[in-house]
Chains A and B, each alone.
Chain A
Amino acid sequence: MKSLKEVQAEVVDDFSMYDEWLDKYEYLIDLGRRLEAFPEDLKTEDRLIKGCQSRVWLDATVEDGRLYFRADSDAIITKGIISLLIGVYSGRTAREIADDDFSFVDQLGLRENLSPTRANGLASMIATIRQMAQNHV
């Protein structure tokens, strides 16, 4: 199994292939579309990530100390972003996620290319993933 850092480096690599931000959005839209369907009955208030302009739901299950994430959003670009995040962290141990510095997100350039309200949403997604991991350490 690849290390978390290796997977992150691959994601950064893939994302940097696109020079134009519109192409990066196309990529995120595609990721969002391909995200596994999220069960409607899991769209509960407690799974909503606070601080996002659009609605984002995140659910985590734990098996053998590893976290498996599922997510959804009513905005497709946001769905692509959360898909990218859970693609990286799903199947990792709670300890690995809790200890990660999430610096690969900065390398993606997402933060500075999203408006502050969206960047806050991104920060909330990261904080929620980290919190879920810490709860299971």
Chain B
Amino acid sequence: MMQLENIRQEFPALAESVYGKPLVYLDNAATSERPRSVIRKWTEMTEKYNANLHRAVHRTAAVATEEYEAARDAVRAYLNAEFREEILFTSGTTASINLVASSFGEAFVHAGDEIIVCESEHHSDIVPWQLLCGRKGATLKVLPVDDSGHLRLELLPDLLTPRTRLMCVAQISNVLGLINPVKEIVTICHSAGCAVLVDGAQGIVHQRVDVRDLGCDFYAFSGHKVYAAPGTGVLYGRRELLEQMPPYMGGGEMIGTVRWSGSTWAPLPQKFEAGTQNIAGTPTLRPALEMAETLRDPAIEAEQERIKTFMLNALQGDARIRLYGVPAAPEEKIPLFSFSVEHSHHEDLALILDKMGIAVRSGQMCAEPLMDRFGVTGMVRVSFAPYNTLREAEYLIESLDRAIKMLQG
């Protein structure tokens, strides 16, 4: 059993103060804090092993390349992917999804075809598909959510047609915090001959991910939300599909041969990794995922459950507050809570909480269609990481009450 205090000491940013108050960092869904092991690797790569990858024969380049490829092995193992070449490094979830929109789109999406996204998707899992549909003359369809924020799965079979090429779904919504039934969605879509992309930006932090068990065709996530360096990201893609997809970007390292008469491509995964990669950042995925594994400790998970129960009771028990993403059972939700307060603007609340030392998010959370769905201009979001404490949740709720009283006079 692990002591939460010991774990917190591994994340130096958690000891920071703001405005003379201890920082209570509850914006983890936007980006997580980073542990010392990640900071060490990041620094080490810059101080000692700075060389470009895969190209040179010298020793420093060899170490840099080993570290980079070791990260690929670590990600493969973490996701339980079958082959290491199914793991592509990108700059983040957004880049991963855009890669699929471009390359899968080029190979498989044609005029008159369809793509489905969920109403609760992040803009990063909406706009690339709008762009693709615009280029190809394809149609974008939307799977709606109900008033509690749950996907209306019963509508999915009717949305699917023989022309549906891809279904895009977040494993966990960044606004609602609800865990979507991805495995079920994959089964339904595959039986209709439709591929599935999973946006795992939030899922990778809070779920044990097994891409073979999920059965998805693509799984995208960002390093920076799961303790790794910013500007790192992953796209898992089934090898069979990746092999049929054209390159995303042309450039160095992604080629077989380059001739004026035409070029050929490098094998996977280099085919999709053109140009100089994130030399210092990507190797941090290895210690970051080790930390994610460490945090799956019974003591820490128990604290997370206490936070969730406390927060659900506090928010749902307050008549002034409207919670979005209401779980039927607590296990359907991660400790991420978006809400609005009657007669109080989300921005005012976030600003006052900030001065109390609490970092929260306010606004549209990159999910404007979902804001429209619930008839609001924005929400306040508090998102906990495994290193947050029940005491912090209690302080948040006390502070929120104080902020509401300030605003409502």
Task: Indicate whether A and B interact.
Answer: yes
Contacts A22-B356, A53-B363, A54-B345 known; A77 to B409 CB distance under 8 Å? no
List, in ascending order, chain B residues with CB within 8 A of A118's CB: 347, 351
Contact assessment for B19 and A75 in the assembled complex, using a CB-CB cutoff below 8 Å: no
CB distance from A26 to the nearest CB of B (A): 6
Q: Hey, what's the 0/1 contact readout for A1-45 against B, CB within 8 Å counting as 1?
A: 000000000000000000001100110010001000000000000
The smallest C-beta distance from A78 to any residue of chain B, in angstroms, reads: 7
B348 near A75 with CB under 8 A, answer yes
Interface residues of B in 344-399 (CB under 8 A from A): 344-345, 347-348, 351-352, 354-356, 362-363, 377-378
Picked from B19, B345, B409, the residue with its CB within 8 Å of the CB of A74 is B345
Contact A115 B377 (CB under 8 A): no
- Chain A residues with Cβ under 8 A from B348's Cβ? 29, 75-78
Do A77 and B377 form a contact, CB below 8 Å, given A21-B19, A22-B356? Answer: no
1/0 per residue, CB under 8 A from B, across A71-111: the answer is 00011111000000000000000000000000000000000
Instruction: State which size class the interface on B falls in.
Output: 10 to 19
B13 lies within 8 A of chain A by Cβ: no
| Interface membership of A50, Cβ < 8 A | no
Tell me whether B77 is interfacial, beta carbon within 8 Å. no
Given A33-B409, A74-B377, are A25 and B352 also a contact pair (CB < 8 Å)?
yes
Q: Is the interface of A mostly helix, strand, loop or mixed?
A: helix
A76 in contact with B363 given A25-B352, A54-B345 (CB within 8 Å)? no
Known A-B contacts A25-B406, A29-B407; the reply to A54 vs B347 at CB < 8 A is: yes
Contacts of B352 in A (CB 8 A): 22, 25, 77
Smallest distance from the beta carbon of B348 to chain A beta carbons, Å? 5
Q: Are A77 and B356 in contact (CB under 8 A)?
A: no
Is there contact, CB below 8 Å, between B355 and A76?
A: no
A54 to B378, CA, bound (A): 9
Among A26, A74, A77, point to the contact of B351 (Cβ < 8 A): A77
Give Cα A78–Cα B345 distance, bound, in whole angstroms.
10
How many angstroms between the C-alpha atoms of A75 and B377 in the bound complex? Answer: 11
Interchain pairs with CB closer than 8 A, number: 45
CB neighbours (8 Å) of A22 from chain B are 352, 355-356, 406
B355 and A25 within 8 A (CB) = yes
Choose from A25, A26, A75, A115 the contact partner of B345 (Cβ within 8 Å): A75
CA distance in complex: A131, B317 (Å):
48
Closest A residue to B402 by CB, please name it: A22
Indicate if the CB atoms of A25 and B351 lie closer than 8 Å: yes
Please judge, given known A-B contacts A53-B363, A55-B377, A76-B348, whether A21 and B355 are in contact too, CB under 8 Å. Answer: yes
Complex: chain A residue closest to B19, CB-CB: A21
- Chain B residue numbers with a CB within 8 Å of A115 are 351, 354
Hey, what's the 0/1 contact readout for B37-62 against A, CB within 8 Å counting as 1? Answer: 00000000000000000000000000
- What are the residues of chain A within 8 A of B356 when measuring CB–CB? 22
| Cβ of A92 to closest chain B Cβ, rounded Å | 29
Cβ contact of B347, chosen from A21, A25, A78, cutoff 8 A = A78
- In the bound complex, residues from chain A placing their C-beta under 8 Å from that of B409 are 29, 33
A108 to B209, CA, bound (A): 50
User: How near does chain B come to A130, taking the closest CB pair, in angstroms?
Assistant: 24
Instruction: Choose among B19, B347, B407 the residue that contacts A53 (Cβ–Cβ < 8 A).
Output: B347
Which A47-73 residues have C-beta < 8 A from chain B? 53-55
Could you list which residues of chain B lie within 8 angstroms of chain A, going by C-beta atoms?
19, 344-345, 347-348, 351-352, 354-356, 362-363, 377-378, 406-407, 409
What are 16 A-B pairs with beta-carbon distances under 8 A? A22-B352, A25-B406, A29-B406, A29-B409, A53-B347, A53-B362, A53-B363, A54-B345, A54-B377, A55-B377, A74-B345, A75-B345, A75-B348, A77-B348, A78-B347, A114-B351
Give the 10 A-B residue pairs with the shortest CB-CB distance, closest first: A75-B345, A75-B347, A21-B355, A54-B347, A77-B348, A75-B348, A22-B355, A53-B347, A76-B348, A77-B351
